Chains A and B, each alone.
Chain A
């Protein structure tokens, strides 16, 4: 009972900012707001593949870079989508 009330209160607290909308903003921000036409200082695709598959074995600077470079973020998204399909397909 308390849990239900808590959940309702939580949902009411979200107001005009539900998680879905905020997730959409994050996605838009990461994929559009950091253009890098010359791909200056971008890590090689192999590093991005490693970030997608084994994030713990990659230098923290790579994750930071992906968060601040839209082309790299887009590449990473594609790699993650492929990885997700592969993992779910093998089940």
Chain B
């Protein structure tokens, strides 16, 4: 009889409470960042190819969100409703900014040879980030609707499962698709 395979313990994910620019990350934001950090950083790591940079940018995004959060509280404005989605969106935008700056920082001599391959790769990365950005703006109800609609559920079935009228579900899904389309059109790229 074979002994049962032991599961490897995954490394614990810990964030600094201060980003590289010395800005503090509020405890409320830090706890959300700890929660979504592993998947978000793994995603960015795949795009950027550098785990250290991915985590640095995540800390930066968390610090920026902290500033926004405390600023809103100080001005008596309503708080961020969905901190997870907000932080993830801020992070995706930061990663995209970094990814766009990369070709400029590359060696110009090697750029000519690498250009066609790099362009295709950039297009795929850009598309990936655009979809991530559009989906990050969805609230929980819309996420549930999108999940079912992608699997071919009818609006009637979605109405019964999600407790929202078929018409409202359709509008929420259309808004998500429209958002995605408008980002693609703004970027002026054919996917």
Q: Does A43 contact B (CB under 8 A)?
A: no
Q: State in angstroms the CA–CA spacing of A59 and B175 once bound together.
A: 24
> A72 CB to closest chain B CB, in angstroms?
10
Q: State in angstroms the CA–CA spacing of A60 and B181 once bound together.
A: 26
Q: Does B48 contact A (CB under 8 A)?
A: no
- Residues of chain A with a CB closer than 8 A to B132's CB: 29, 33
Contact check, B144 vs A63: say whether CB atoms are below 8 A apart. yes
* Contacting residue for A87 out of B7, B43, B157, B190, CB 8 A: B157
Contact check, A38 vs B150: say whether CB atoms are below 8 A apart. no
Interface residues of B in 33-78 (CB under 8 A from A): 35-36, 38-40, 42-43, 46
* Contacting residue for A25 out of B8, B131, B148, CB 8 A: B131
Q: State in angstroms the CA–CA spacing of A63 and B82 once bound together.
A: 13
Q: Does B27 contact A (CB under 8 A)?
A: no
Interface centre among A30, A36, A67 (most CB of B within 10 A): A67
- Residues of chain A with a CB closer than 8 A to B138's CB: 67
- Residues of chain B with a CB closer than 8 A to A89's CB: none
Category for how many chain B residues contact A: 35 or more
- Knowing A14-B181, A40-B10 are in contact, say whether A26-B131 is a contact too (CB < 8 A): yes
Q: State in angstroms the CA–CA spacing of A49 and B177 once bound together.
A: 26
Contact check, A26 vs B157: say whether CB atoms are below 8 A apart. no
* Contacting residue for B43 out of A16, A21, A34, A61, CB 8 A: A34
Q: State in angstroms the CA–CA spacing of A61 and B161 once bound together.
A: 18
Q: State in angstroms the CA–CA spacing of A88 and B138 once bound together.
A: 28
Q: Interface residue count for A (Cβ, 8 Å)?
A: 40
* Contacting residue for B147 out of A34, A41, A63, A87, CB 8 A: A63
- Residues of chain B with a CB closer than 8 A to A66's CB: 143, 147
Contact check, B46 vs A23: say whether CB atoms are below 8 A apart. no
Contact check, A80 vs B147: say whether CB atoms are below 8 A apart. yes
Q: Does A45 contact B (CB under 8 A)?
A: no
Interface residues of B in 128-175 (CB under 8 A from A): 128, 131-132, 135, 138, 140, 143-144, 146-153, 157, 161-163
> A88 CB to closest chain B CB, in angstroms?
8
> B8 CB to closest chain A CB, in angstroms?
7
Q: A40-B10, A53-B161 given. 4 additional CB < 8 A pairs? A: A33-B132, A38-B8, A63-B144, A80-B148
